[in-house]
């Protein structure tokens, strides 16, 4: 068991090295980005990117999670299926979005035909990078994943600052920078993919694996759609109800909140899922891995979040300027929720490994109504912070209940 934990920690550290560098880069870039582009432009970019993330995440039916426990032959077929699905599904979602959202509403978010095209490309690349990440994770190619994350962050912010200074500091420059960076990241990740194994795949084998993974599509895919919508709904609702400027403040608050621990959370989530699945297959000790991870994350995150709560106004004022102090208020309201999510989000994939897709579906439905309802309640009372506070409190309760269900499903496993 000690060797198993040691391997888990080493894999996590490998990913953490890449993730931490990827987080340090935006930390230095944020002051330049905020002063160069302003709240409204950043808010518009955040809204478009949020929608692209939704489309890109759900386009593959969340079958990337099945890559980790899959056999070698199934892994290649699954990845081929993901490649087949990604582009047409994104184009379908984008077309449905354009057809169902009126021209007036699109103009309210300041979308143009060019923005819609960027949105589709962003969504496709987001889905491809996500799938390639899981493929490499299944082979424990953690060093390659770390390098891709560093490249993505460095390329994105270098281009956003450079293009913003050379050309007009617009939403298009932010989008183009992200698109190019995602393409480079996918190129790095693709070097770990066994492309030669994809040549022997037939439509029959794809249909066979699709049938085999039916539970992912019936339960986990709807849950994932709702989950990714729930994650992005605050920025979309704030942008629609309060305007681009407040959406920009909220987007920046989220970005600052992610700085202290995002590198750790990202590293742990990938190594945890691979390790947890392995422990289940061996009928070893998945519960101990889960509890160890919660304790580790709780201890690591306590100090950064405490310091951020105490010095949020000073930090925002010094780094971004006094014009961004609204973001500091939002940070304080969301801090405890973010800390609890930091501890539990990295291990949420345990529910999938335990075939608890239907429970994931229930919880994500509650989360969606909670976030949308909280923000709308605040809007009805003319107080965004009130709405965010209600949302945060209920989200903490949901996270604690979700973790309790995971422990309940683990009951009876080898301890």
Indicate the domain borders of the chain: 2-410
Residue 190: name the closest of 275, 273, 127, 133 by CA: 133
CB 63 within 8 A of CB 81: yes
The residues of the chain scoring below 50 in pLDDT are 1, 414-415
Q: How far apart are CA 12 and CA 351, in angstroms?
A: 20
Q: How far apart are CA 93 and CA 397, in angstroms?
A: 32
Q: Which residues contact 25 (CB under 8 A, 6 or more apart)?
A: 150, 153, 154, 157
Q: How far apart are CA 339 and CA 396, in angstroms?
A: 9
Q: How far apart are CA 342 and CA 192, in angstroms?
A: 29
User: How many C-beta atoms lie closer than 10 Å to residue 164's C-beta?
Assistant: 20
Q: Is 59 helix (H, G, I), strand (E, B) or coil?
A: coil
Angle at 240 between CA 235 and CA 241, to 5 degrees: 100
Give residue 393's pLDDT.
94
Give residue 415's pLDDT.
43
Q: What pTM was computed for the model?
A: 0.66
Give residue 104's pLDDT.
53
Give residue 214's pLDDT.
67
């Amino acid at each position: 068991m000690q060797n198993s934990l040691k391997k888990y920690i080493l894999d996590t550290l490998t990913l953490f090295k890449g993730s931490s560098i990827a987080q340090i880069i935006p930390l230095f870039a944020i002051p330049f980005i905020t002063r160069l582009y302003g709240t409204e432009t950043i808010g518009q970019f955040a809204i478009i990117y949020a929608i692209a993330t939704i489309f890109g995440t759900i386009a593959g039916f969340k079958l990337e999670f099945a890559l980790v426990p899959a056999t070698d032959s199934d892994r290649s077929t699954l990845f081929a299926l993901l490649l087949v699905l990604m582009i047409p599904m994104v184009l379908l979602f984008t077309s449905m979005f354009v057809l169902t959202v009126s021209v007036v509403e699109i103009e309210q978010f300041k979308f143009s035909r060019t923005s819609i095209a960027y949105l589709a490309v962003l969504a496709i690349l987001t889905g491809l990078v996500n799938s390639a990440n899981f493929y490499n994770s299944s082979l424990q190619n953690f060093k390659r994943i770390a390098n891709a994350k560093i490249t993505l962050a460095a390329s994105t912010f270098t281009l956003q600052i450079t293009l913003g200074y050379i050309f007009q500091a617009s939403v298009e420059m932010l989008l183009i920078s992200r698109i190019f960076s995602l393409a480079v990241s996918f190129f790095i990740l693709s070097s770990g993919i066994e492309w030669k194994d994809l040549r022997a795949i037939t439509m029959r084998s794809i249909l066979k694996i699709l049938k085999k993974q039916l539970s992912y599509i019936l339960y986990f895919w709807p849950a994932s759609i709702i989950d990714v919508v729930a994650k992005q709904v605050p920025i979309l609702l704030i942008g629609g109800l309060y305007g681009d400027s407040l959406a920009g403040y909220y987007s920046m608050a989220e970005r600052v909140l992610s700085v202290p621990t995002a590198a750790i959370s990202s590293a742990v989530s990938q190594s945890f899922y691979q390790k947890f699945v392995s422990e289940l297959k061996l009928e070893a000790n998945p519960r101990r891995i889960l509890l160890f991870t919660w304790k580790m994350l709780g201890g690591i995150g306590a100090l950064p979040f405490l310091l951020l709560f105490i010095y949020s106004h000073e930090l925002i004022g010094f780094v971004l300027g006094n014009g961004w102090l609204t973001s500091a208020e939002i940070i304080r309201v969301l801090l405890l929720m973010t800390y609890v999510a930091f501890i539990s989000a990295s291990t949420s994939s345990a529910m999938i490994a335990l075939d608890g897709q239907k429970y994931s579906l229930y919880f994500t439905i509650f989360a969606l109504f909670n976030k949308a309802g909280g923000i709308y309640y605040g809007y009805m009372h003319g107080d965004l912070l009130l709405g965010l506070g209600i949302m945060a409190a209920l989200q903490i309760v949901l996270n604690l209940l979700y973790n309790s269900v995971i422990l309940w499903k683990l009951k009876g496993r080898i301890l």
